Amino acid sequence: MLQKRRTFLKTTSLGLSVLATGTAYRCQGKSTPIANVTHPVIISTWDHGMAANKVGLNILKNKGSALDAVEKGVIVVENDPTVQTVGLGGFPDREGNVTLDACIMKGDGQCGSVAFLQDIKNPIAVARKVMEKTPHIMIVGSGAKQFALEMGFKEENLLTEASRKKYEEWLKTGVYKPKINIENHDTISTLALDANGHLAGACTTSGAAWKMHGRVGDSPLIAAGLFVDDEVGAAAATGLGEAVIRTAGSAMVVEAMRHGQSPEEACRSVCLRIKDKHKDISDLQVGFIALRKDGAYGAYSLQPGFTYALGQNETHELYQATSMF
């Protein structure tokens, strides 16, 4: 089935976009937008990134901010109960609780995050509130839920019938092997460049299915699951969070771009680092997407099967990322 899908996909070795028409410039100590970026770009992980990009690109084309584009884009996926790795309908932990992780970041360094959040279906919107309404960056667990309720979010049961059935199926064996992300669905990470040359990113997930109660992955961690810097570019991760955390994955991708690597090269070099840090990577999947401040984009994964969605101009395309194996 995956094989079939690939025939529809375009493979890029280097996603150089032709969108940035202006000259980049920098000011000391302050991130500065690129002049004259005429067309925005949005890139998201996995097939469900298409739905996020459609909403996000529309916002960008109407001169909306990259921040609004990524937030409103991923909310579409959080609200979709058929996506069982994000938001409503996410797979629960081994005790049957759906616990959500998310973070959001702007190119000027502002960011917000929630982890181990229960009963609130839009963790990305709560993360944005943490960024905008508190002096903090990260709030977790019952504190995050309390904050969400204070901000007017609604408490609801996130365990759908379909996910409960899968969970009960899993309970029959109860074998915990976090082999995630080899399938073609997972965390949604979205990066956007707006018409003013500002970048933003959002990352939201229900994490590894059947995880230990309280386990938190890379997705709500700034630098691991997501990193954005208007001076350079943005990057986000999908895959086994533990592997991404131990390499500070997304920040490393941005730093590799800072040192001159293309977006795809940068994603690849961090995948190589992850490969070198693990004895057995046969069941390990990690993928990155990256968007440079001039609109160039790229992706790379350890294992084949990682797709990413790209929206720009009037078009939305799904691509197969280049992989190590």
Q: Which are the catalytic amino acids?
A: 187
CB of 100 to ligand SD4, least distance (A): 10
**CB–CB of 192/64 below 8 Å?**
no
CA 274/CA 234 separation, integer angstroms: 19
Q: Identify the three-state secondary structure at position 105.
A: strand
Q: Is residue 180 a contact residue for ligand SD4 (CB under 6 A)? A: yes
**CB–CB of 209/185 below 8 Å?**
no
Q: Which is nearer to ligand SD4, 186 or 255 (CB)?
A: 186
Q: Judged by CB under 6 A, which stretch of 24-32, 203-211, 247-255, 291-299 contacts ligand SD4? A: 203-211
CB of 31 to ligand SD4, least distance (A): 27
Q: Which is nearer to ligand SD4, 205 or 261 (CB)?
A: 205
Q: Judged by CB under 6 A, which stretch of 29-37, 128-136, 204-212, 264-272 contacts ligand SD4? A: 204-212
Residues 6 or more apart in contact with residue 124 via CB below 8 angstroms: 71, 74, 75, 78, 102, 104, 202, 204
Q: Judged by CB under 6 A, which stretch of 119-127, 130-138, 201-209, 310-318 contacts ligand SD4? A: 201-209
Q: Is residue 118 a contact residue for ligand SD4 (CB under 6 A)? A: no
Number of amino acids touching ligand SD4 (CB under 6 A): 15
Q: Are strands 188-193 and 199-205 parallel, antiparallel or unpaired?
A: antiparallel
**CB–CB of 53/316 below 8 Å?**
yes
Q: Identify the three-state secondary structure at position 73.
A: helix
Q: Is residue 186 a contact residue for ligand SD4 (CB under 6 A)? A: yes
Residues that bind ligand SD4 (CB under 6 A): 85, 180-181, 186-187, 205, 207-208, 217-219, 238-241
